[in-house]
Structure 1
């Protein structure tokens, strides 16, 4: 019985050890052998998590980095808890950037290329988790030396969050003016390279001051006209109008004054401040196609109960006889009225919308054809499909 008791204790000890998380309380490197004179595979930054693969031996651990590389690090830098009193030993050759540089709050680098595919595993055939843009900051705690190796750009071991790309695609934040000069130096007949650099210019501009958007699109439009693809031309021309509007963006006070009296008109009925009674909702639209209870962690909606109609969605408090519009599908029956001179209805095209309301809207290259207009504690999310106004959602902030 004693033997089994001993094995049980040993088994529990191994499990507890495996569940322990380990972090680095200093910059260090991943060495090929337990010796600081040995070759090293990459750089760790303070706060990096590692997995221990062995017990400490002569002051060294064998560990696994978050990109799945294995090697050795000094035991003195390994801890189960980080705190403000840690005395960090900085590695001046470490390329990783510490947080609080106005771009990102933890260790990071930036995406250097356009349309970067972040994958679920360090394998070019694995699932694409996200498409990243030039200038996007990405969390990195371990950076391999080899440009052709994979780097985990989530700073996390968890399969749920881990994302991988090749080391050569991340680095110091690109400089807009340098890219602009690079574009201008290219031979006009080198269409593919001009397109590549033009895409980087545009994406970096979206990640920079909005004043850089117009000059970026002017350069990109040069090569788009050379390619002469109708869809690419139309999309670029639309984005050039958006860029023009964003360059003249109104301040928050002006935007709030513009939308202050907004109301939906649903089948001819005005919904002052987006509210109406539950009885009026049913009277106008009939019984909902579906009812559902949706947990709202932020408690920003009127109720957890939602009514779903072909024309709209609403948060409903049946006991209090109240309904709050949360989404409206725009058709000949429904529209949003900002004021007597500004209405969004089914006749408004996307181009006409951005031309008229460009200075009031928020837009992103990562969500094309989706725009926002700020309210006091929420915003209108305005979606277009095939150039036509599709729906307007009221998105509440936590």
Structure 2
């Protein structure tokens, strides 16, 4: 009989834990069912929890999204959130609410440079993402212990879960304060200067283009001290990029710049990104590969794609139309933005930045990739080994 009771209890708890429960107020995760007990961490309104036990005098044992277990008052646990929820705010809760200029939900910011987000709360687990100083990340539960892990996906979905250590998250760093901290360091403290200058560069990319020059100025000082030729060359390129982005053109100027963009493909000049299917096959022959793609947004001419070694094209065979999606730049293919901006396979990344850097968008997360905006789309340019490799058109859904 005892075995039967245990089995029924176990099944009840298991069923309970599989249902989704949310907290309808700020609260804390207590070590025991008592408000005067120690607590393990802070919950923010909307946090998901797993319920591990039945109600005990108004309390329930729960598991947080980083697998901490403790107790929460039952009145704060709900199967769904409601616009009429009366949210009790915890003034000591460090988690930031949505509504600032950086993130719409509960969040904190990354404090370290090149922070690894892992698939499990384990330093040896698979790396899911590299995060940069100043990146906002969703946080619904924050442990008190700085050496514990935080789930920065915000729920229990194992497929997308990402974890990092509590000590690397906090309020958004102040760019000017970091500059002052760097300038106070002893010039011979190369390790500290390198660490801090990397944070400054990453935060600059997460601030605005005008912050890049002072950031790279300090990083360049450190790189020259280290005297790594490859790192010096890369930093010089990024400084050129910083100077160009600081003088960024207005959107209307950029759109005018790209308005007549087209290609030269094996000597055949397109009028835009469009070409007839007849001319496509005449120039490149029968495609080695055809495939249909999922196009839920309806952004392409057709869901039928032709794949050539030189390019990828969306083709409407019935209407004899083709839309050039991606071109690999080589001795046969050129990207002509306008008569004064012809980009071919000899174009170096440095020359591209010097000539056209004021027209582009760039990101530290995608080095050697640049975009030029249009009204409903953008051209994305990729450089490999210092030369222009490909041009792709990307439409907004």
Q: What range describes the TM-score normalised by the shorter chain of this pair?
A: over 0.9
State the match for 2:94 in structure 1: 95
Q: Given the alignment of the two structures, is residue 44 of structure 1 paired with residue 72 of structure 2, yes or no? A: no
State the match for 2:113 in structure 1: 114
Q: Given the alignment of the two structures, is residue 127 of structure 1 paired with residue 122 of structure 2, yes or no? A: no
State the match for 1:326 in structure 2: 325
Query: What displacement does 1:17 show?
Result: 3.8
- Matches of 1:304 and 1:152 in 2, distance apart? 38
- Matches of 2:348 and 2:35 in 1, distance apart? 64
State the match for 2:74 in structure 1: 75
State the match for 1:357 in structure 2: 356
Deviations 1:59-88 (A, max 9, x none): 001000000100000000000111211111
Q: RMSD across aligned C-alpha pairs, in angstroms?
A: 1.6
- Matches of 2:10 and 2:181 in 1, distance apart? 60
Query: What displacement does 1:19 show?
Result: 3.8
| Consecutive unaligned residues in structure 1, runs of 5 or more | none
State the match for 1:148 in structure 2: 147
Query: What displacement does 1:176 show?
Result: 0.4
Query: What displacement does 1:338 show?
Result: 1.5
Kept in 1, the 8 Å contact 2:16–2:51? The answer is: no
State the match for 2:52 in structure 1: 53
Deviations 1:92-123 (A, max 9, x none): 00000000111101000000010000000000
Aligned structure 1 segments of 4 or more residues deviating by more than 4 angstroms: 9-16
Kept in 1, the 8 Å contact 2:18–2:50? The answer is: no
SS of the residue corresponding to residue 248 of structure 2 reads coil
- Matches of 1:199 and 1:11 in 2, distance apart? 51
SS of the residue corresponding to residue 124 of structure 1 reads coil
State the match for 1:26 in structure 2: 25
**Matched residues, number:** 392
| Consecutive unaligned residues in structure 2, runs of 5 or more | none
TM-score by length of 2: 0.96
TM-score by length of 1: 0.96
Relative to structure 1, is the Cα distance of residues 68 and 15 closer, same or farther in structure 2, using a 3 angstrom cutoff? Answer: closer
State the match for 1:379 in structure 2: 378
Query: What displacement does 1:289 show?
Result: 1.3
- Matches of 1:99 and 1:222 in 2, distance apart? 37
- Matches of 1:18 and 1:95 in 2, distance apart? 27
- Matches of 2:392 and 2:55 in 1, distance apart? 56
Query: What displacement does 1:390 show?
Result: 0.3
State the match for 1:342 in structure 2: 341
Query: What displacement does 1:14 show?
Result: 6.8
Query: What displacement does 1:18 show?
Result: 4.2
Kept in 1, the 8 Å contact 2:21–2:50? The answer is: yes
